[in-house]
Homo-oligomer: A and B are copies of this chain.
Amino acid sequence: MKRRIIALLTDFGDTHYVGIMRGVILSINPNVVIVDITHNIRRHNIVEGAFILLNTYKYFPAKTIFVIVIDPGVGSSRKAIIVKCKRYIFIGPDNGVLYPSIIEDGVEDIYMITNRKYMLENISQTFHGRDIFAPIAGYVSRGIKLSEIGSKLNLSEIAKITFNKPIIRDKKIIGEILYIDGFGNIVTNIDANIIKKLCVGKHRISLEIAEHKYMLPLVKSYSDVDRGKPLLIIDSFNMLEIAINGGDASKYFSTKNGDKIIIEI
């Protein structure tokens, strides 16, 4: 039989909290393959988690089971859910972190996780990654029926997150910062198609960020500018990215997630 894959995405950092989850999963299904997406989502940052999941899940083999634990509401009344989609299965807290990915993959069934039979015996108030999400993933990887896990939910009953789209008006693209990666690269919500359509043939683009204006080159490689110099590039998210060759753009421009980006076209 093919080995089943469980992929983990959390904001736990490299801590024993992740190690325990691995142990719990392997105790239930020793034949599963556990893969880390990353554990460095900024703490409690559901939107960042949703963005990273949306941009990674599709690179995994079909039938991968994703376990997402970015869970500031642990122990509260927020639901725990499992979502069967066209190609993948997603498990996590019902706080919107799964939403963009399940919509893109195509929702088939959503279940509220309630059956204590598939959880650890003692459920703590602070660590459902260990007590609920990891064991559920382990049992699902062994092939239990999802309908045994709990009752069905409608899509309208779960939490949503959507990413703002850029606005185009008055010869301007008004976007925002979606994500700043670990290198300080600034990923905007302005996708490659918009740039191709509206900035065609331009080698330099006029950009306003944190209330300052810049004229930045649109390049094909970070190394097209000198080290330490700013640039624009279509990045691996297929988004317009503001970067510094070999440097940290978020420090250079003193920006943070959600900040406005204005491009003149």
Contacts and interface: CB of A to CB of B under 8 A. Distances in A.
Interface of A: 2-3, 5, 7, 9, 12-20, 22-24, 26-27, 30-31, 33-40, 43-44, 52, 55-57, 59-61, 64, 72-76, 122, 124-127, 130-131, 181-183, 220-224, 233-236, 238, 241, 246
Contacts of A40: 13-15
Nearest to A24: B59
A223 B44 CA distance: 11
Q: Please name the 7 residue pairs, one residue from A and one from B, whose CB atoms are nearest each other, closest first.
A: A75-B221, A19-B37, A127-B236, A23-B59, A23-B60, A76-B221, A124-B236
A236 B39 CA distance: 19
Given A13-B14, A20-B37, A74-B222, 9 more contacts: A17-B236, A24-B59, A27-B59, A30-B61, A43-B183, A72-B223, A76-B224, A125-B220, A125-B235
A27 to B, nearest CB: 5
Contacts of A72: 222-223, 246
Contact of A38 (B15, B38, B44, B52): B15
A223 B76 contact: yes
Contacts of A221: 73-76, 125
B126 A236 contact: yes
B15 A61 contact: no
B75 A223 contact: yes
B33 A26 contact: yes
B15 A182 contact: yes
A30 B46 CA distance: 30
A4 to B, nearest CB: 9
Nearest to A4: B30
13 contacts: A5-B26, A9-B16, A13-B182, A16-B56, A18-B36, A20-B37, A20-B59, A23-B37, A26-B35, A43-B246, A72-B246, A75-B223, A76-B224
